[in-house]
Amino acid sequence: MIDWEAAWKAALRDRPPRGGPDEWDQRASSFARHVADSDYAEKLLHILQPQPSWSVLDVGCGSGTMAVPLARRVASVTALDFSPRMIELLRRRCAEEGIENVTAVIGSWGDDWDRLGIGTHDVALASRSLAVEDLRGAVTKLDRAARRQVFISSLVGDGPADRRIFEAVGRTFRPGPDYIYVYNLLHQMGIFANVSFLSSVEWKGYATHAEALEELRWMLKSPTADELDRLKAYLAAQLRAHEGAWRLPAPRTIRWAVIWWEKEEAGGRARGVQNSA
């Protein structure tokens, strides 16, 4: 029998490191702009079916991709992220939009959530944030933090990474583990989860070539000067003018798996039936 926890850790070695709080602080503003152009949040909300009475824990909340739209539909949201800059952007957005039911907390998967005052919530959500080495520990934390349901969205295949960028600089693309590792580990833990799928067609526009370089280089994780030169040359050759912006000649389809399960009132776990949508 495959040890899916060990397989997850082994596959992570092929994925570029996720980066720590400092790196995400630097990426925060461009990341917030990027996700604002996506229909991901709307599609995930359709799967979540949030209820007005819910309290929600959003782990790895970023600048509020899910926390803000959820706050308009539920009673309260506790938003957790290890990047102080992301939390700052979230708080600023809530203030600008008059949202008062979001509690933003700086913290990570590895922190003591009891000391952070996270508590328990009707629903625990990890939206595109499960880039952790201790997958079993993260899932256990989510499960304990939820009274009703747990939702995890995990990449499918390449996820948000663009193979064209790696090929342009001469790197071999290694996507690392995707949702199937998460699903199978849950099964080994006795959690028989539901699975739904959502996809987005992304054809991102950039104001300048320099902006395109800045927003695409994150995929490479510490690129060398030579790799940056190759990426600049690739973008100079490939970017096309379109409606006052620049974009690559073809869009990408990005897929995510939404894995979720219900908690039983007695504290056990409901046995879900796999499905797709």
State residue 138's pLDDT score: 96
H or E, element range at 194: strand 194-202
Proportion of the chain above pLDDT 70, given as a percent: 87
What CA–CA distance (Å, rounded) separates 81 from 54?
20
State residue 244's pLDDT score: 92
Q: Where are the domains of the chain?
A: 4-160+174-203+253-262, 204-250
Instruction: Assign 169 a pLDDT band (cuts: 50, 70, 90).
Output: very high
In our burial notation (b when 16+ CB lie closer than 10 A, e otherwise), range 244-270 reads eebbbeeebebebbbbbbebeeeeebe
Instruction: Give the number of C-alpha atoms closer than 13 A to the C-alpha of residue 273, restricted to the C-beta side.
Output: 0
Q: Which CATH number fits domain 4-160+174-203+253-262: 3.30.70.660, 3.40.50.150, 3.40.50.170, 3.40.710.10?
A: 3.40.50.150
Which range has the worst mean pLDDT, 10-14, 71-75, 159-163, 233-237? 10-14
State residue 87's pLDDT score: 95
What CA–CA distance (Å, rounded) separates 110 from 47?
28
User: 257 forms bridges with which residues in the sheet?
Assistant: 154, 197
Token digits of residue 96: 């600008």
φ/ψ region of 98 (left if φ > 0, alpha if ψ in -120 to 50, else beta) reads left
Instruction: Assign 266 a pLDDT band (cuts: 50, 70, 90).
Output: very low
